[in-house]
Amino acid sequence: MSCTYAVIAEMRGNQLRQVTFEALDAVQQMASSDDRIIVLAIGYGLQEAVLSLSIPGIAHVYCAEDERYKYYDSEAYFSALRAFVEQESPEVVLFGHTAMGRDLAPMLAAHLRTGQISDVISISQDTDGFAFRRPVYAGKAFETRRFTTQSNPWIITIRPNNFPAFTPENGTLPTHATVSSPAVVALPAPAPSLRTVVRDVVTKMSGSIDLAEAKIIVSGGRGVKSAGGFKPLEQLALVLNGAVGASRGACDAGYCDYALQIGQTGKVVTPEIYFACGISGAIQHLAGMSQSRVIIAINIDPEAPIFQVADYGIVGDLFEVVPLLTTEFRKM
């Protein structure tokens, strides 16, 4: 039986967020050649997004475009999403496990009285069908979940930076033989009587790279000792084209903005390389970064718990070690 996979695209400004292409990779792993792959983009100014979705194998790109979608708003976006799902009746709906996906996906699952599997980091298949692996207990354990037969559609959110971003150069959607390029369909914007409207959004990002999508993160803790102490970390991040993050200790001390906080009550990140500089490695911090591919810890205390999760540890003063690393990486 063929099935429809719907990816809910996510925008940053006029461009698609990388997690949209990571969701397409998840679809690539699950779909077969007679399935249908569709994408919904909600926003204002979707031309660039539509262009980057002209991928063989995607049957339709649905565009819900309206000035009211310029900024993310639960009520407005959900009304567009609901109209799309009711019209297309997909069997599988995928979101990024981002602020938007974490908001919309459960609203949709509750509305449709169906099941949701959140924060998926990998997908496997055996004789019982697909199984979805996800971290639990702040990354200290993993569980594997399956949908039951009563659950339709399947609602899935995928953790950013865990699936490779799909491109036609690095993969082929199973449906590419039947669909050479997507048809673009404008969806009429439903006009809900919104109870609140977003007037303005002030974004705080670490440089120009979003922490959630950064491949390299240089994070500082209370060990940086002052706001100025972040300067060497910023320089290392700049050389490595990475983003700067922080522990809550550094945020609470006023050394940096809370937008940089990584951990249980901050952002969850899974970069390829995570530098922990002057961070002790409290469990609440590990909850946000322990899934990083390579962890490099720099700490003056050889007993600091961060060394237990680090792949590489440097016992030393970050104010000496970080500038040395910057100098060496600059030579490469």
Question: Toward ligand FAD, which CB reaches closer, 17 or 285?
Answer: 285
- Residue 294: which of 267, 316, 320, 313 has the closest Cα? 313
Question: Toward ligand FAD, which CB reaches closer, 63 or 251?
Answer: 251
Alpha-carbon distance 309 to 70, whole Å? 41
CB 267 within 8 A of CB 245: yes
Alpha-carbon distance 278 to 229, whole Å? 10
CB of 105 to ligand FAD, least distance (A): 22
**Residue 76 exposed, middle or buried by CB count within 10 Å (0-12, 13-18, 19+):** buried
Instruction: Concatenate the DSSP letters of all residues of 93-111 into one string.
Output: EEEESSHHHHHHHHHHHHH
Question: Toward ligand FAD, which CB reaches closer, 28 or 247?
Answer: 247
CB of 52 to ligand FAD, least distance (A): 33
Question: Toward ligand FAD, which CB reaches closer, 88 or 234?
Answer: 234
Alpha-carbon distance 332 to 254, whole Å? 34
126 Cβ neighbours under 8 A, 6+ residues apart: none
The number of helices, as runs of H, and strands, as runs of E, in the chain is: 9, 17
Question: Toward ligand FAD, which CB reaches closer, 198 or 300?
Answer: 300
CB of 158 to ligand FAD, least distance (A): 22
SS3 163: coil
101 Cβ neighbours under 8 A, 6+ residues apart: 8, 10, 19, 95, 157
CB of 292 to ligand FAD, least distance (A): 14
Alpha-carbon distance 235 to 75, whole Å? 41
Both tokens assigned to 309: 């999760």
Question: Toward ligand FAD, which CB reaches closer, 101 or 223?
Answer: 223
CB of 326 to ligand FAD, least distance (A): 15
List contacts with ligand FAD (CB under 6 A).
221-223, 247-250, 261, 263-266, 278-280, 282, 284-285, 288, 298-301, 304, 317-319
CB of 264 to ligand FAD, least distance (A): 4
CB of 304 to ligand FAD, least distance (A): 4
CB of 319 to ligand FAD, least distance (A): 6
Both tokens assigned to 175: 């449906």
Question: Toward ligand FAD, which CB reaches closer, 4 or 280?
Answer: 280
Question: Toward ligand FAD, which CB reaches closer, 177 or 258?
Answer: 258
